[in-house]
Amino acid sequence: MEVSTVSEFISDKCFHFTHFLVEDELQASQLVFDVLQSFLIESPSALSRVESTGFRNDFYSRIYKLAKTRRDHFKMSESVDLSGRAAFFLVYEHRLSIGEVAKITTTPEDQVLLKVVHARSQILKDNNNVEKFRTSL
Amino acid sequence: MINECVHERSVSRLVSRNSELSDSLKAHISQCENCTRKYNILCHENSVLKENVSSYKSNFEIKETLSREVELIVERYAEKSKRDARVLKNNSFGSLNHNVLAFVKRLTQPISLILMLFVGALYFLTL
Ligand SMILES: [Zn+2]
């Protein structure tokens, strides 16, 4: 296993995904470390496949599940649909297929696209410039 | 009230997916007021989304700290695994097969054969 490949994947892609989900830098770092530790205990040999899609999706899935378990601890608003944010990020940033996202977020396939669209419009709604731009045209 | 254009849906679908627009659609957008407006709104939305998602990326400092920590965790784990493997090897009684073979091998050594002959002779003498 290339330690540098593992650390690149975790400090770049995994942190980005986790930070987007939990919106707090420190909590995101801790969550990523905890997922790595659990991976080392449960399936350390899998780390050698760090560049494979299967491994990466498994990692994202663990991150999502742990974030979901800890959402009360993060004081996340109840209105935030975590699976929607995860689905939006994975489709938008990593261009994962609906099937892959459904597996990672344990969401039925027919609901993934709806969640992506909803999360997308929620981000746009939270940004004041979008409405201003719309009306300026 | 502005009337909708039939091409708005295509523009919406393609731009929101960041897909390439065909030359004919590009030409239509430049001539149609509705589609130009839709196109500009969508491009603006895309730039807002891009900025939002990018704001969660690890900056140089965080990336450095995370990488160092990850390398430490993985190396510490690798060392522990090696240590555990060594302890297991030293404390292990080995497999049955391995132990039987080692026992037979020791029996065939000269000192074992002499001892066996000696014990045998003593046994016959006591009969
Ligand atoms: Zn048009």
Q: What is the pLDDT of residues B39-70, one digit of tens each?
A: 999 999 999 999 999 999 999 999 999 999 99
Please report whether residue B2 resides in a domain: no
Tell me which residues of chain A have a C-beta less than 8 Å from any C-beta of chain B: 1, 3-4, 6-8, 10-12, 15-16, 19-20, 23, 25, 29, 32-33, 36-37, 40, 44, 47, 89, 92-93, 120, 123-124, 127, 129-130, 133-134, 137
Contact: A10, B70; criterion CB under 8 Å: yes
- Judge if B88 and B106 occupy the same domain: no
CA angle B54/A96/A74 to nearest 5° reads 55
Does B103 lie in the same domain as B122? Answer: yes
Output B47 or A45, whichever has higher pLDDT.
B47
Token pair of A126, please?
Answer: 């939270």
- Residues B87 and B75 grouped into a single domain: yes
A6, A52 contact by CB (below 8 A): no
Using one digit for the tens of pLDDT, what is the confidence trace for B86-125?
887 777 666 666 667 777 777 778 888 888 888 888 888 8
- Tally of domains in chain B: 3
- pLDDT over 60 at B1, yes or no: no
Rounded to whole angstroms, the Cα distance separating A60 from A90 reads 9
pTM of the model: 0.78
Range of the structural domain that residue B104 is part of: 94-127
User: How do the domains of chain A map onto residue ranges?
Assistant: 1-75, 77-137
Nearest CA among B60, B29, B66 for reference residue A15 = B66
The pLDDT tens digits for A54-111 are 999 999 999 999 999 998 787 777 788 999 999 999 999 999 999 999 999 999 999 9
- In a shared domain, residues B50 and B68: no
Q: Is A95 left (phi over 0), alpha (psi -120 to 50) or beta?
A: left
Question: Which residues does A109 contact at the CB level (< 8 Å), separation at least 6?
Answer: A98, A99, A102
Residue B110 domain flag: yes
Residue of A nearest to B55 (CA): A20
Residue B126 within any structural domain of the chain: yes
